[in-house]
Structure 1
Amino acid sequence: MHERIDIEGISVSPDHFIDGKRVGSPTTFETRCPFDWPRKLADVARGDAATADLAAQAASAAFPGWAALTAAQRGVYLHRLADLIEANVEQLALIECLDMGMLLESLRLRVILRGAANFRNYADLASAHEERVWSSRGTANRVIRSPAGPALIITPWNAPFMLSTWKCAPALAAGNTVILKPADWSPLSASLLADLIEQAGFPPGVFNIVQGLGTELGNALTGDPRIKRISFTGSVPTARVIGKAAAENIVPFTAELGGKSPLLVFADADLDAAARKAAGQYDDSGQVCMAGTRIIVEESVSEAFLERFHAYTDAHVMGDSRDPATTMSALIHPVHAARVLGFIDRARTAGDTIVRGGKRWKDDGNWIEPTLIAPRDNASEVVQNEVFGPVLTFQTFKDEAEGIALANSTAYGLSGIVYTGSAERAERVGRAVRGGTVWVNTFLIRDLTAPFGGIGISGIGREGGDYALDFHSDLKTLQILEGSVRSSQ
C-alpha cells in the first residue's frame, strides 16, 4: 500500500479500493495536470489480473448481503453518500479540475452536485418502485425486480466523477455490488469517491475500485464470469472488444459511445440564441460526447448566423481552469491534443476550409484554438468522425428535407439540437432527427428519469431512471392460479 498524497492540501490515496480497504500494486502509472503540463499529480497503483480477481471476489462475497436489503435500506446509504458529496464539493471539484482539466467553476456549481443528485434520485426511484400487477387467464401476475449480481462500471476520462456516479448509483440502488474501473488519464476523483463510500458506512466489498490501463485490466475484468452486468462509456473500438467479452458469458451490456451530433438552425429561429449556443459547444474544449459539433444552418440566414457565432466565439477565454475568467480548458493529454490536430491537418490537406482557428493556442501545452471548418463535402472525415475537441464544422441547407438529411448523415446518433421558432417544425424535425436525445431551442438540460443512450454506433441500451434500474436487475414474472392459495394469517 502506498502513502496518501497531498495535492494542494487535499489528501488522495493512489491505491485501489477493494473490500473496504486500500490495496496497492507493485507498479504504478502517472496522472498529470492538463493545463499545467507536465506537472505530475500522482503515481497511481497499476492493477493487473490478480487485482481484478481480488475485486471480483470481494464484490461476489458482498453481493448476497447487499441484495438482501430492501431498496429503502440501501437508500439510507445512498442518501448518506449524497450528503457527503455535497459537504465535500470544494475538494472534489479541485481534484477533478487538476486531474481532468474541466473548469473549476463549472465543477463547483454544477457537475459535482450532479453526482449527489444521481445517488439521491436513484435511491428514491428504487424505493418508490411498484411492481406491475395484473390478472390474465385466471392467474394473478407480478413482475419482480431482483438484483442481478456484481456490476462492472467502466468510465471515460471526461467528467469522470459525474459519470461514475451516474453509472454506480443505479447499480447500487438496484442491489448490485460494484467494481469501478476509472480512466487512467483522470482517476483521482474516483479515489475520493471511495473515501466517501467508506465514510458513509457501506459494507466492505459493495463498492470497489480497480485502477490501471485498459489493455492490462480489460480482459480480466470484462471476461470474469462473476460479473453479471457491464456498463461502459468510451470509444467504439473499445466497446466492440468489451461487447465480445460480454457475449462470451451472456452478460447484459450497455455502451454509450459518443457522437457527432448536429446543431440544426432554421431561418425562423432566434439566431442570436442559436449562435450563442453553437459557440458554447467549445466548452470543455469540445470534450463532451453530446456536443453539437456539426453546425447546419439554413442558407438564407447563414451569414447573419456566422457573424453572431464569431462574436460569441471571440469572447472565449483560454487559460488556467482554476481561473473564473477562463471559459475554455486545455485538452486532457498531449496524445489527445495531437489526435485533434491530426484531424485539422488532414482536413486542411483534403481541401476543407479552415474558417477560424486550426492551430495550437500556445507553443506548449494542450490548448487548441476554437476551430471552425467548412468541409468540401459531407463525406469529409471531419464531418463523419468524432473529433472530441474544439473543432466544429459548418454546412448550409436549402430546405427542411435537406437539413434533416444532413443531420442524419453520419453513423452516429447520440443527440441533436434544433433551433426553430415553429412549434410544428419543432415536433416534426425533433421526431425526424436521429438521436437518443434531441433538444429544441436548448441544450444539455437533463431529466435524470428520462432514457439516455445512443442510436447506431453511438451505443446500445439506455441509462436513466427506471431504464437503468431494469438493466441492473433480473426481471421475473410470478404467476399464481387465482383461488388456488390463501393467506395463512
Structure 2
Amino acid sequence: MTEHTLKVAGVAVDTRHWIGGERVASAGTFTDVSPIDGTVLGEIARGGPAEAAAAVAAAKSAFPGWAATPRAERARLLHAIADGVEKRIEELAIVETTDNGALLRSHRRGVMPRVAHNFRFFADWSLKLDHEDFETRGHTNHVSWDPAGPSVLITPWNAPLMLSTWKVAPALAAGNTVVLKPAEWTPLTASLLADIAAEAGLPAGVLNVVQGYGAEIGDALTSHPDVRRISFTGSVPTARRIAASAAPHLTPVSLELGGKSPLLVFADADLDLAVDLAVEQYDNAGQVCLAATRILVEGSVAEEFTRRFVDKTTRLQQGDPRDEATDIGPNIHPRQLEKIDGFVQRALTAGARAVIGGHPKDGQYYAPTLLTDVAQDSEIVQEEVFGPVLTLQTFADEDEAVRLANGTRFGLAATVATGDPERAERVSAQLVAGTVWINCFFVRDLQAPFGGSRHSGVGREGGTWSFDFYCDLKNTVTAPKGWKDHG
C-alpha cells in the first residue's frame, strides 16, 4: 500500500489520475465520503487545468495510432476489458456500493454484468457497422465512419461505472481516444476501470481518467480546442455551461439530462402491474433520471390504486445497501438530501398532502414519499427532485392524461399502463419522450436509440447512433471512369 492507495471494503483503489498510461498525483485533494454511514473513504487527487491539458495531450498523441488500429483489434481489446470486469465483479460491486450507496445486490447481479456487456456489445457492433453502397448516375457512394478524435466523457454519480462505460465503450470502439471525468462524489470505480483497461493491454493514452470538480477541471476539458467530442450525463444547468464552453470550437456535444417522466395508469390497466411499476420508481433511492416520478391515474381507479400502492410501499425495507434484504438505500450526499427535503417541504407548505413519507430519516436516508393534491404548475410537479419522491394526479380521459404527461419542459421517458393495445398506440404516439414503455419499465437494449427531448437532452446514443456521434461520417463518391491502366 502507498500514500495514494485506499482500501475500500478490502479492495485497493489508487486515488491518482490516470494520464498517458501513468498514475499522476495532484497538489490538492478532495474528500470522498460514503453515503451509507458518512465514513471518510479517503483523499482523491483534485485535478485542474494542468491535469486537463495533460490528459487531452495524451489522448491527442495516442489518437493517430488508435484510429489506425483495425476494428477487429480494437474489438479484441474491448472484449479483454470486459473479461477483466467480469473477473472483478465482486470488487467493483462493493466499491461502487460503498461509494454511491446503491444496492449491492443490484451491482452484483445487474449493474456490473451490464458494464462488461457495454464493452462486448459496442465491440461487436463496430465490426458490423456498414452502409450498403448506392449509385448516383453511375457513380458509387460509399459511407464510412471515421474516428473523430479525443473525446471528453463526463459522467454522473447515480450509476457511475455503468454510465461511464456506456460512453467509453462506443467511443473506443469508434477509434476515438478518451478523457473520462467521473463525478467527484463517486470517483472510485473509474480508477479501477483504468487499471482493468491497462491490464487488458489498451495502449497508453487511449483511456485517461481525471478527477476533480467541474468548475476546476471540467471547464478546462470542455473548452479545450483539441477535444472533438463531448458526452455528458447530468443536470440541465451544467449542460448549458458545457454547451457554451464547447461552442467556440464547435465541438459536438451529446447531452443526456434530467427527467420528470410520467406514469399513466388507465382504468383498464392491470392494477397490480401498475402498482408494481409505480413502486419501482423508488429504485436507487429515486436517483434515476428515467424515473416516472409523476404518477397520473384515471380518476375512477385512483383510490384503489393509492391503497394498493401504499400497502406495497410500506413493505419496502430501507437501510444499509450492503444488506441483501434492503430495497432502498441512502441518498448520495447531505447536500442532495437537503435539496430533496426542500422540494417536499415547499410542496407541503403550498398545500400538498403526504400520503406516505414526507421527511428525512437518520443519516442520508429519505423516507419514500408520495404527495397528492399537487397543481400541474407547482414546483414539485415541474422540477426534477432526484430522490424517493413521487406525486399523484388524476385525469378524466386520454386527452387530459396526455396533456398532463406532456406538461413539463422535460421529455426523457414515459410509462403507460393499459389493457387496451389500441389505446397504448394512440397515447404513446402523442407523448413527448425519448423512450416510452408500455406495461413495463426500464427495459433497455443497447441497439436502441437513447436520449431525451426538450430539456431532457440533445442527441441519441446506442447502436449505430453512438457511432454516428463519436465518428465523422464520410461519403466517398467514385466516378465510373477515369482510371488509368495499371496493368
TM-score range, shorter chain: over 0.9
Once the two structures are overlaid, the 10-residue window that deviates more, 371-380 or 466-475, is: 371-380
CA distance 1:134–1:40, shift in 2 (3 Å): same
Q: What per-residue deviation string (whole Å, max 9, x for no partner) do you get for residues 154-187 of structure 1?
A: 0011100000000111100000000000000000
Kept in 2: contact 1:156–1:182 (CA 8 A) = yes
Deviating above 4 A after TM superposition, structure 1's stretches of 4 or more consecutive aligned residues are 486-489
Q: CA deviation at 1:142?
A: 0.6
Could you tell me which runs of 5 or more consecutive residues in structure 2 were left unpaired when the two chains were aligned.
none
Q: What does residue 123 of structure 1 align with?
A: 123
Amino acid at match of 1:294: R
User: What's the counterpart of residue 3 of structure 1?
Assistant: 4
2:133 is aligned with 1:133: yes
Tell me the residue number matched to 2:242: 242
For residues 488 and 308 of structure 1, the distance between their equivalents in structure 2, rounded to whole angstroms, comes to 79
CA–CA separation in structure 2 for the residues paired with 1:8 and 1:298: 48
Specify the SS of the correspondent of 1:474: strand
Q: Which residue of 2 aligns with 1:24?
A: 25
Following superposition, the deviation at residue 16 of structure 1 comes to 0.3
Q: What is the aligned partner in structure 2 of residue 294 from structure 1?
A: 294
- Does 2:399 correspond to 1:398? no
Q: Does 1:175 align with 2:175?
A: yes
Q: Which residue of 1 aligns with 2:463?
A: 465
Matches within 5 A, 1:135-150: 135-150=135-150
Letter in 2 for 1:202: L
Letter in 2 for 1:65: G
Q: Are the counterparts in 1 of residues 45 and 211 from structure 2 also a CA contact under 8 Å?
A: yes
Question: 1:438 & 1:488 partners in 2: Cα distance?
Answer: 57
Q: Quick one: which amino acid aligns to residue 442 of structure 2?
A: L
Inter-partner Cα distance in structure 2 for 1:8 and 1:433 = 45
CA distance in 2, matches of 1:357, 1:485: 76
- Asked if residue 372 in structure 1 is aligned to residue 370 in structure 2, the reply is yes
The code of the aligned residue for 1:354 comes to A
TM-score w.r.t. length of structure 1: 0.98
1:276, 1:308 within 8 Å by CA — same for their partners in 2? no
Q: 2:325 is matched with which residue? A: 325
Indicate the percent of aligned positions where both proteins have the same amino acid: 51
Match of 1:210 in 2: 210
Q: Which amino acid aligns with 1:91?
A: E
* 1:66 aligns to 2:66 (yes or no): yes
Structure 1 pair 349/69, CA: closer, same or farther in 2 (3 Å)? same
Paired letter, 1:121: F
SS of 2:232's equivalent in the other structure is strand
Q: Is the 8 Å Cα contact of residues 374 and 391 (structure 2) preserved in structure 1?
A: no
AA at the equivalent of 2:240? R
1:123-158: per-residue Cα shift (whole Å, max 9, x none)? 001011123310002211111110000000000111
Per-residue CA deviations over 1:226-278 (Å, capped at 9, x if unaligned) read 10000000100000010011111011101001200000000110000110110
Q: Find the residue that maps to 2:377 and give its secondary structure.
A: coil
User: 410, 413, 419: which is aligned to 2:411?
Assistant: 413
Letter in 2 for 1:322: R
Task: Specify the SS of the correspondent of 1:34.
Answer: coil
1:375 touches 1:383 (CA, 8 Å); kept in 2?
Answer: no
Q: Partners in 1 of 2:217 and 2:6 — Cα distance? A: 24
Match of 2:424 among 414, 426, 442: 426
- CA offsets, 1:319-340, max 9 Å, x none? 1110000000100000000000
Instruction: Determine if the alignment matches structure 1 residue 109 to structure 2 residue 136.
Output: no
Q: Secondary structure at the match of 1:36?
A: coil
In the TM superposition, what is the alpha-carbon distance from 1:3 to its structure 2 partner? 2.5
Equivalent position of 2:191 in the other structure: 191
Q: Distance in 1 between matches of 2:442 and 2:485?
A: 51
Unpaired runs of at least 5, structure 1:
none
SS of residue matched to 1:478: strand
Residues 13, 61 of structure 1: CA spacing in aligned structure 2 closer, same or farther, 3 A cutoff?
same
Q: Which residue of 1 aligns with 2:87?
A: 87
- When structure 1 is superposed on structure 2, of 132-141 and 76-85 the one drifting more is 132-141
Residue 215 of structure 1 deviates from its aligned partner by 1.1
Separation (CA, whole Å) in 2 of partners of 1:292 and 1:377? 17
Specify the alignment match of 1:153 in structure 2: 153
2:306 is the counterpart of 1:306: yes
Distance in 2, Cα, partners of 1:307 & 1:353: 15
Asked if 2 retains the 8 angstrom alpha-carbon contact of 1:375 and 1:382, the reply is: no
Question: For 1:379-402, what per-residue CA distance to the aligned partner results, in whole angstroms no more than 9, with x for missing partners?
Answer: 110000000000000000000110
Using a 3 Å threshold, how does the CA distance of structure 1 residues 17 and 484 change in structure 2: closer, same or farther?
same
Q: Which moved more, 1:164-173 or 1:302-311?
A: 302-311
Q: 1:155 to 1:487 in 2, by over 3 A?
A: farther
Alignment-mate amino acid for residue 178 of structure 1: V
Give the distance between the partners of 1:163 and 1:189, measured in 2 at CA.
Answer: 11
Deviation digits for residues 42-95 of structure 1 (CA, Å, limit 9, x no counterpart): 200000100001101100000000000121110010000001111110000000
Deviation for aligned residue 1:483: 2.8
* Equivalent in the alignment of 1:388: 386
SS in 2 for 1:237: helix
- Work out the CA distance in 1 between the residues paired with 2:119 and 2:8: 26
Number of aligned residue pairs: 486
Compute the RMSD of aligned alpha carbons.
1.1
- Find the aligned partners of 2:32 and 2:428 in 1 and give their Cα distance: 41
Q: 2:474 aligns with which of 450, 473, 476?
A: 476
Instruction: Write the letter of the residue equivalent to 1:466.
Output: T
**Deviation of residue 361 (structure 1)?**
2.1
- CA–CA distance in 1 between the matches of 2:486 and 2:59? 38
